[in-house]
Each structure stands twice: as structure tokens, then as C-alpha cells.
Chain A
Amino acid sequence: MSPEWQAVWLTLKLAGITTLLLMIIGTPIAWWLARTRHWLRQPVFAVVALPLVLPPTVLGFYLLMMLGPDGFIGQLTERLGIGTLPFTFEGLVLASIIYSLPFTVQPLQNAFASLNERMLEAAATLRASPWDSFFTIAVPLARPGFLTAAVLTFAHTIGEFGVVLMIGGNIPGETRVLSVAIYDHVEALEYSQAHWLAGGMLLFAFLVLVGLHTINGRLAGGVVK
């Protein structure tokens, strides 16, 4: 595989795995944030939103510290025999999960918050347990939110640069994702290769947004008034 395609494949793999894991992690967080009145709600909301406002290098720096051999997560992973995570693909996945968390949680939280409480109450009076009504009522009704969350998370992870550079470096086939590859080409003054990759990403981003808008419009038309 050429280095370019290797970078494309690695990027897609990273974004795919991150999106999948974030849907699993983000859904309960979003559900809790949308429905709780606990005093921890605001602090948790702020923590989840932090990656939106922090410079990616700051986030990457702290992750590097935590995951490194002197950080508490690094010591934990070493004791578990996994070794340290910086400069590995797994480390990138972990960093991406934190970096893209708000892009999963916020659309889901909005979707859950706009659910009509009456629907869940009706389901309960029809003998559906909370889990049952979550999967048969809440999830289908929040489907546009899930789609938005998944697409934004995927696209945002693909565009990640600062965090990758801090924590992943530039190891071909392991951590050298598209954005880093473009940076490399520009550094080496290989503008034509940079053009191909950058143009491809631009087109990809555009298509994703158009597709998302179209599908969500259709879902909204079919599901809710």
C-alpha cells in the first residue's frame, strides 16, 4: 500500500472505531445529561464540552502527560502489561474519544431533551420497563440525533490534527493519519500530493454535510411532524 493510501485507511479506521465506541459511551452520558436534575449536571456538561474550546495541543499535552510513563493512566497501563499508550494506534483512539466526545454527546443530548416525556410515560403504562422503552421508543424517536452524532463524530475525528501530533506523532501505519500526512507533504514542499489529499478531504467534508442534511430532513419528515 502506498503511504498515501495507508494514511487514508488508517484515518478511516481511527474514525470508525472512535465513532463506534463513542456511540456506546456517549449515549448514556447524553441520556443522563438530558434528564437529570443532579447538581453534577453542569460540571459534567462543562467537562464534556471542554474539547470544543480547548486548543487541541493543550488537550494533547495533558493526554501525553497522563498516558505517559509518569502519568497515572500510563502507570496503570504499564502495570496491566499493556505498556504506555502514546505513539500507538490505541493511544490515538483514546485521545480521539476524548477529543470528539462533545460531537457525540451534544446532538444526542439535544435529541433526548426534545423527546416528549409523555411518550415514555405512555410506554411505561403499556408495561415497558425503562430499558425496553429506551430502545423501542427513545432511540427510534431520537434517530436524527443519532445520525447527526455519528456523522459529526466521524468527520471530526478525521479532521483531527493537533492532538494526533502531540500524542501520536507520525509513525506510518500506526499514527500517521491524513491530516499529518498533508502537513508532512507541505513541510517537504510536495504541494501536488498535498493538493490531492487536502482536496479529497474538502470534498469529503462537503459531501458528508450535504448527505447529513438530506437524510435528517427526510427522517424528520417521516418521523416527527
Chain B
Amino acid sequence: MTQSNGILARFRCGFESFQLDVDLQLPGQGITALFGHSGGGKTTLLRCMAGLQKAEGYLSVNGDCWQDDHHRLPVHQRPLAYVFQETSLFPHLSVQRNLTYGYQRIPADQRQIDFGQAVDWLGLSNLLNRMPEKLSGGERQRVAIARALLTSPRLLLMDEPLSALDRKSKQDILPYLETLHQTLDIPMVYVSHAAPEVARLADHVVMMDNGRVIAEGPLQETLARTDQPFALEEDAGVIVNAVIGERDTRWHLCRADFEGGSLWVREEPQLESGRPVRLQVLARDISIALAPNHEQSIQNLLPARVEQVATDQSPGTTLVRLQSGDTPFLARLTSRAAHQLQLVPDMDVWLQIKTVAIVD
């Protein structure tokens, strides 16, 4: 347990009807998503990491021990920042004074994020003199994120920061979060129950249910597992890292190349050649054919090999894991179709992909 890199988190705590029991080793950079149903223990785990929830256990972040059996740093001595689900701005302080609240409380030589920088990143320059009650939900969360960053944290904890927002505000904030991800070298633990958010932001995924970790690993691998699809339910699917290649200007399509194949996506102005993109392909949008069928409307046909045929959450559907090139895919079929096609591992088939979403 003396590894210096990464986040080691081991916690055990119980309430009347709920037990949290986790032992995790998370990467020390990038975004880790804690993912799963509400009530699964994601927020409790996050609060344990922050020290807001008292629990037995161990926590070290990139070599610094914050909690072990003998010693437990109180919240205000942990160099972390926390963004709460609902607004947590101080109602009696202006945006400016909310932002400087934490900033002033860390020694000047530890301030790695400049006030102007944070204001700039989150687009707050016009809001500084306002009171929190005069802000929209999305603006409040942006202020809360900037306020958190201004403490130059060694670990950024976010508890469903977007869940209380409407679709529009969500779409407004996501790009800011992505910018942070690319600009900052701060490991982030992000609680979410929204699969699209996770697909878009996370590098690493921890799936939780009933206070325990049920699956964990890099995003792509973990999403392609067939053993825990219930966590995703309708949103089961994979993420494909691709690069925009050729453009078909006549039909307004772009080709996205990934290792071992390519997919056509609809043309969008920001998709210039060479740009890396994250594509999401949901299991429900894939059908399987035994031979390539060009007499139909679907444009994305990929050769693939069956890896695993697994039971799904309902007996009427079957989840099939396939590999096209080096990229895993999940397809959800009716169990009758799986039976009629006599799908077995190592069988060569064709994927017919109806929809490809660009998530990043």
C-alpha cells in the first residue's frame, strides 16, 4: 500500500439500511466517473474521500496520506475541492467574494490557478458583482466550479454537478468541463448517473451498486463489459476513440477512423480532418447480419467477430460483445434473433450500426 501514484481509497461505513465497502485504486490523473443508480453509494464514497462523511478507512492521493487508521485529516485541511449537486454558493456574498473565499484561505505560494484564469475559463467576467440569487442554475454551477478550482486542489470531487440543471445549461457547462480536463493536471472524481455525461467526460469508470464496486477500469473497456450492463440499461453501449478522416461533401458525411475500421458520421462544422473524436455507439443501435447486406439503408457496416453472448437484464434480450479490428462493440438483440442466428464466440458476422453519436 505504499504506491505513490494514484488515488488509494478504502472505506467502510454503515447506516441503518446501507453499507459502503470499497477498496479502490484510481488513476492519479484524468477524470474518474463514479457511476451507477442513485442510492448505490457514489455520493457517500465521494463524501468519505472529502472527509465530510466519517468512515473507517484509508485514503492517499498521489503519495499524500489523508486518512489512515490512526489519523484523519479534517475536511478543511485536505487540499481538495468539492462541487456539490445543488447550489452551494454563499447567499450573502457576491460572486466575486464567493470566488475569493477559498482562494484567500490558501497560502499565496500554493496558488497555481490565477483568479483571472478561472474567471476566464468559466466565462464569469460579467457576473462578478452579482449576488448568487440573481444567477441562473447553470451560472451558479459555473461559479461553484471556479470557486473550487481557485483553491488549487490536488483532487477535484464533483457530485453530479449537472444533474440539477436543464438540458440547455448542461450543454453550456460540458464544454467548460472538457476544457478543464484538457488544461488542468488535477485528478477529478465525478459522480454521475447519466451515461452520456460519463461517456463524454470520463477516462476511467467505477460502477457502483449497493455500496460496492461492481466493475472498474478504463472507460472503453468497462463500458464494453457484458457482465454489468444493468448499470447502463438503455444506455448500454461503447465508446470508440476515432480521428476524423475523409469528408464526403456531397452527402455531408465525415469518415471517422478508429483502430481496425471506420464509421460514417454526419458532417458538422467543427469536424475538420485530423480531429480526434469520441463516438458513442449504443448497443440498441446495432443489429447483426451473417453476411454484408448492401440492399438496405444503413451506411455503417463493419465486419466483426463474436466474443461473448451474454444474458441481459430481461430474458427477452441478449447482449453480444463483438470485436471489430481492436475495438469492442456491444449489440443488444432479441434473444430469439440471437438464437436464430446461432451466435457463438469466434463467429464472423457483420455489424449494422444505425446511429453513431459524437460525444466529444
- A interface residues with partner B (beta carbon < 8 Å): 118-119, 121-130, 132-133, 136-137, 140-141, 223-225
A125 touches B91 (CB 8 A): no
B196 to chain A, nearest CB (A): 27
B82 touches A122 (CB 8 A): yes
Which chain A positions have C-beta within 8 A of B130?
none
Which chain B positions have C-beta within 8 A of A136?
101
A223 touches B92 (CB 8 A): yes
A126 touches B101 (CB 8 A): yes
Q: With an 8 A cutoff between CB atoms, is B90 at the interface?
A: yes
Which chain B positions have C-beta within 8 A of A137?
90
Q: Would you give the 0/1 interface string for B49-75, flagging 1 where the beta carbon is closer than 8 Å to chain A?
A: 010100000000000000000000011
B82 touches A127 (CB 8 A): no
Given A121-B88, A125-B80, A126-B105, 16 more A-B residue pairs with CB atoms under 8 Å apart are: A118-B88, A121-B75, A122-B84, A122-B89, A124-B52, A124-B74, A125-B76, A125-B81, A125-B82, A125-B102, A125-B148, A126-B102, A126-B151, A127-B102, A137-B90, A223-B92
Summed over the interface, the residue pairs from A and B with CB atoms below 8 Å come to a total of 65
Q: With an 8 A cutoff between CB atoms, is B332 at the interface?
A: no
Most chain B beta-carbon neighbours within 10 Å: one of A123, A124, A125, A224: A125
Most chain A beta-carbon neighbours within 10 Å: one of B82, B101, B147: B101
Task: Select from chain B the residue with minimum beta-carbon distance to A125.
Answer: B82
A7 to chain B, nearest CB (A): 41
Task: Select from chain A the residue with minimum beta-carbon distance to B88.
Answer: A122
| B91-149 interface (Cβ within 8 A of A) | 91-92, 101-102, 105-106, 133, 147-148
B84 touches A118 (CB 8 A): yes
Q: With an 8 A cutoff between CB atoms, is B307 at the interface?
A: no
Which chain B positions have C-beta within 8 A of A133?
76
A83 to chain B, nearest CB (A): 47
Cα distance, A74 to B50, chains bound together (Å): 51
Which chain A positions have C-beta within 8 A of B197?
none
Which chain B positions have C-beta within 8 A of A129?
76
Cα distance, A137 to B75, chains bound together (Å): 16
Which chain B positions have C-beta within 8 A of A125?
50, 52, 75-76, 80-82, 102, 148
Which chain B positions have C-beta within 8 A of A119?
88, 90
Contact among A118, A127, A225 with B105 in the assembled complex (CB-CB below 8 Å): A127
Listed by A's residue number, 15 A-B pairs whose Cβ atoms lie within 8 Å are A119-B90, A122-B84, A122-B90, A124-B76, A125-B75, A125-B81, A125-B148, A126-B76, A126-B105, A126-B148, A128-B101, A128-B102, A128-B105, A132-B76, A141-B92
